[in-house]
Amino acid sequence: MKIEKTKMIMKYFDVTYKVAKQYEILLKDKQLQQIKAWYEDKKDTGLSTSPEKSADGSIGQGIDCQKKLDKKS
């Protein structure tokens, strides 16, 4: 589960493994559940797991980590 969690974060925020591991420390359980739901939905539907297609559309557009985390909470 640990590696899958990192993989989900990497896809969601479109970041490297090292950055995703740092995000794991910052993210709260509720945020991780939202990421997991997003990832599972994308995986189940067979759609691209590109974060630009997320509901708010701001993911992956150069917004720093803190702003992303604030929007997700």
pLDDT tens by residue, 5-62: 999 999 999 999 999 999 999 999 999 999 999 999 988 876 554 554 444 444 444 4
Domain that holds residue 27: 2-72
Rounded Cα–Cα distance for residues 42 and 40 (Å): 5
Domain count of the fold of the chain: 1
pLDDT of residue 20: 94
Amino acid at 45: T
Is residue 50 classed as helix, strand or coil in its secondary structure?
A: coil
pLDDT of residue 64: 57
Confidence band for 67, pLDDT divided at 50, 70 and 90: low
pTM over 0.85: no
pLDDT of residue 56: 45
